[in-house]
Structure 1
Amino acid sequence: MMSTPHRSAPGAPPARPRIPGAPVLSRASFGGMGAARPLSVLDAGAARLVTSGRIAIALALREMKVKPGDTVLVPAYHSPSMIPPVLACGAEPRFYRIRPDTSVDLDDVAARLDPSVRVLMVTHYFGFPQALATLRAFCDAHGLLLLEDCAHGFFGEYQGAPFGAWGDYAIASSMKFFPIYEGGCLVSARHPLSGVKLRSPGAGFEAKVALTTLENSFAYGRLPLVAALLKLPLAGKDRLWRALKARRAPGSAAPALAPGSSDSSYDFDPRWLDKRSSLFSRLMLRLASSRRIGAARRRHYAALQAALAGLPGIRPLFPALPDGVYPWVFPLLADEPARLARLCAALGQAGVPYVRFGETLWPGVDASVCAVSADLSQRLVALPCHQALTARELDWMLGELRAASTL
């Protein structure tokens, strides 16, 4: 699910280069047919393309017929956006422990079972797989439905099968991996999803997604020729929008043209449940090169891992990058919260985007529920490794990381 990239402090001098925290539209996501094509959740089974991963969670729970009085087991280390879909169907989220390597603590899961538990939700943190064969066997033995949260792993495989193929249902967040403004998917290898009917949110949504995707690209210096050609039309669009806002009654708000998930909000709006992803985003999923995206993410991850070697007080969360893993971001651990605070302050001041996944946990989830989750929330930061990073941006970011680690 979404986590907000941290940026430079207000009033800080502009950094150069300015680095996108997520993929933006550029040539980096297209072409490149040499590498092997990575498996994706869309290879796992029937799929429906929606506007976000949290909407896909809500649809999965609806398909599972989760109802008031039911319990959904959710990892204690999580994005807060994972919880409102559970509450929206009247179910209780019950949090289970993870181990320091982010694997599911099945002993703790077993201790939390009772007749109300219907679903076990598992997260492939940062794109690294859980022990899916073991989890599938556990769910089958206990009569549970397995929901794979592939928000961090649109691409990836486990024992030769794509992420999403092991669960009764799976969800993913395509906007973490593709240069798009919105996008998620619901997938099932076991059910046809024939009951999931979707429709377009309308022309305003379609236009906003396409224009915002382009504007995000232009803001980071990509597609300069296209930016020059569209400079006047986009300026006219901005003037028209300001005029329309000025005509609204004081205190009134325009209806949202896109879900809050597109702007890193944790909100859950059920009005988006029957809405499909935009035509623009669906087209990008068809045209973008999964080969190039996957190869670049692995290459950038390896460069970050090499740069960390020998740096004081920080280390990668995962000691190696296995085959079949295509990371969302590069997670690293500081040896203590104070060092993480210094590191993040320095990175933010320099203009390096970063993500603090799990920095905010659901109210009541603390060290008494899961000490590992509480610890990760205070010591983990993640840097971008997406395909849109240029060689210059990556080198500059590595230099800033080395400098920040000495503070």
Structure 2
Amino acid sequence: MPSTTAPPSARRAIPPVPVLSLAAFMGGRRAALPSLLDGADVRLVTSGRIAIGLALRALGVGAGDVVLVPAYHSPSMVPPAHWCGADVAFYRILPDTAPDLADIQAHLAKGRVKAILATHFFGIPHDLAPLRALCDRHGVGLIEDCAHAFFGARDGAAVGSVGDYAIGSTMKFFPIYEGGCLVSHRHRLDVTLHGAGAGFEMKAALNALEAAFAYGRLPVLRLLLALPLRLKSALWNARKSRAANGTAAASPAPALAPSSSDSSFEFDARWTDKRSSWLSRAVLRCVSPARIVARRRRNYQELQRALDGAPGCRPLIARLPDGACPWMFPLLVDRPQPVFEALQRAGVPMTRFGASLWPGVDASVCANSVDLGRRLIAFPCHQALDDAERAWLHAQVRQALDACAAVPA
């Protein structure tokens, strides 16, 4: 197959996630869609998975209980249930990622189910009213997983308002290094949080700033902070060098920030009583929600138009619903591996959500989940992408699809 790798001059470094910029603070506070935080009791924690663990604990989940999790999932959704001492069972999803209520009913008939996680995948809100009614009949807690859906509504119900508790991942929607939230419209949150220390606060701030600098944002601030950042890097490299040479203390120092910020699937219980950093909380208060919603919707629809008629693919969602603020643009690809490899060579940021499922979750558990994990490639549509970055992304994805379709399978 001919290479679709872009020549070096055509390669671009575009941010895979939102990054800080001056524009992020412009655009107004009033968004077209409700926020996960609207009208709820809120605790800002360091990650969505920590929020899951706290929600399960609030529901009284413990040893001998079962937590139902969608068979299409991030592996990070499972360890919080194990932290509570519970077992996990996986329920089927429909081709559009909605919960399969018949399969959930079959699990409930077996007993022991204490809580169900229901996910609004890729920021497309599901109608959870039937699942809410099912949970109420069986006395089961419902946790609304809004990690992909910080803004949105379905049939008049705001995301996060249907579950007993809801969780969010603020770092998927805001230009911050760490952050999640636990919210509830139905219960008071009996959760007390503490600061994680000066090292955490500094790392959260510097990592958010360095991410912005790496993609050409905030150039004046980058110039002003050049010397302190070089000093920080030198100190950090010296610390790592001492550890590698065995001169560090026998017991490694606690991590300055949760591993969830670095794409791990671990659940570190040391962060269950820690609040999100000052910078992350300040960014949530100050950036423009209206801009986030409007630009994500625009960027999603622009990419969909750019790929209209492209061979060997189709959007997971044929039309972006009016009540959706997307996390990413999910595309189903007939020949995903060669397309993925071509885009990877070109440096295109993308996610294959569900490509790694929990051990034992296979087609016999849920064929739809396995098919989505194999075929789906998701592309960024966040608010920080500028015009040139979006145009390059569109061209690279279309080029890879056209090139792979031209080669016989």
In terms of mean alpha carbon deviation, does 199-208 or 219-228 score higher? 219-228
Partner residue, 1:119:
115
1:187 to 1:34, Cα distance in 2 relative to 1, 3 A: closer
1:44 to 1:162, Cα distance in 2 relative to 1, 3 A: farther
State the aligned residue count: 394
8 Å Cα contact 2:193-2:273 kept in structure 1: yes
Specify the code of the residue in structure 1 equivalent to 2:138: H
1:352 to 1:243, Cα distance in 2 relative to 1, 3 A: same
Specify the code of the residue in structure 1 equivalent to 2:60: K
Partner residue, 2:375:
379
Instruction: Tell me the SS of whatever aligns to 1:196.
Output: coil
Partners of 1:73 and 1:45 lie apart in 2 by 24
1:287 Cα deviation from its structure 2 partner? 0.4
Partner residue, 1:16:
11
Partners of 1:66 and 1:155 lie apart in 2 by 28
Partners of 2:103 and 2:39 lie apart in 1 by 29
1:32 Cα deviation from its structure 2 partner? 1.2
Matching of residue 67 in structure 1 with residue 66 in structure 2: no
Q: Deviations over 1:104-154 (max 9, x none)?
A: 100011011132011111000001112121121111122111100000001
Partners of 2:228 and 2:29 lie apart in 1 by 38
Q: Deviations over 1:276-300 (max 9, x none)?
A: 0000000000001000010000000
For residues 156-167 of structure 1, what are the structure 2 equivalents within 5 Å? 156-167=152-163
Partners of 1:123 and 1:247 lie apart in 2 by 43
Matching of residue 234 in structure 1 with residue 229 in structure 2: yes
8 Å Cα contact 1:44-1:163 kept in structure 2: no
Matching of residue 29 in structure 1 with residue 24 in structure 2: yes
Partner residue, 1:134:
130
8 Å Cα contact 2:116-2:141 kept in structure 1: yes
Instruction: Tell me the SS of whatever aligns to 1:399.
Output: helix
Partners of 1:364 and 1:246 lie apart in 2 by 40
Partners of 1:69 and 1:44 lie apart in 2 by 34
Q: TM-score, normalised by structure 2?
A: 0.93
Partner residue, 1:4:
none
Return the match for 1:208 from 203, 208, 220.
203
Partner residue, 1:5:
none
Partners of 1:38 and 1:180 lie apart in 2 by 21
For residues 271-290 of structure 1, what are the structure 2 equivalents within 5 Å? 271-290=270-289
Partner residue, 1:403:
399
For residues 232-381 of structure 1, what are the structure 2 equivalents within 5 Å? 232-248=227-243, 249-250=246-247, 252=250, 253-335=252-334, 339-381=335-377
1:83 Cα deviation from its structure 2 partner? 0.2
Return the match for 2:387 from 377, 391, 398.
391
Partner residue, 2:407:
none
Partner residue, 2:173:
177
8 Å Cα contact 1:51-1:184 kept in structure 2: yes
8 Å Cα contact 1:367-1:373 kept in structure 2: yes
In terms of mean alpha carbon deviation, does 132-141 or 73-82 score higher? 132-141
Partners of 1:15 and 1:256 lie apart in 2 by 38
1:38 Cα deviation from its structure 2 partner? 2.4
Partners of 1:232 and 1:15 lie apart in 2 by 31
Instruction: Tell me the SS of whatever aligns to 2:337.
Output: helix
8 Å Cα contact 1:74-1:95 kept in structure 2: yes
8 Å Cα contact 1:28-1:293 kept in structure 2: no
Q: Deviations over 1:289-340 (max 9, x none)?
A: 00001000000000011011110001100000111200000000012xxx11
Instruction: Tell me the SS of whatever aligns to 2:37.
Output: helix
1:246 Cα deviation from its structure 2 partner? 4.1
1:36 Cα deviation from its structure 2 partner? 4.0
| RMSD (CA atoms) | 1.7
Partner residue, 1:3:
none
Partners of 1:205 and 1:155 lie apart in 2 by 27
**What 5-or-longer segments of structure 2 have no aligned partner?**
405-409
Q: Deviations over 1:247-274 (max 9, x none)?
A: 4544753321000000001111000000
1:245 to 1:309, Cα distance in 2 relative to 1, 3 A: closer
1:74 Cα deviation from its structure 2 partner? 0.5
Percent of counterpart pairs with the same letter? 59
Q: Deviations over 1:192-238 (max 9, x none)?
A: 10x20000010000000000100011011111111111111111111
8 Å Cα contact 2:29-2:288 kept in structure 1: no
Partners of 1:224 and 1:149 lie apart in 2 by 36
Partners of 1:384 and 1:354 lie apart in 2 by 7
Specify the code of the residue in structure 1 equivalent to 2:77: M
Q: TM-score, normalised by structure 1?
A: 0.94
1:34 to 1:244, Cα distance in 2 relative to 1, 3 A: closer
Instruction: Tell me the SS of whatever aligns to 1:147.
Output: strand
**What 5-or-longer segments of structure 1 have no aligned partner?**
1-7
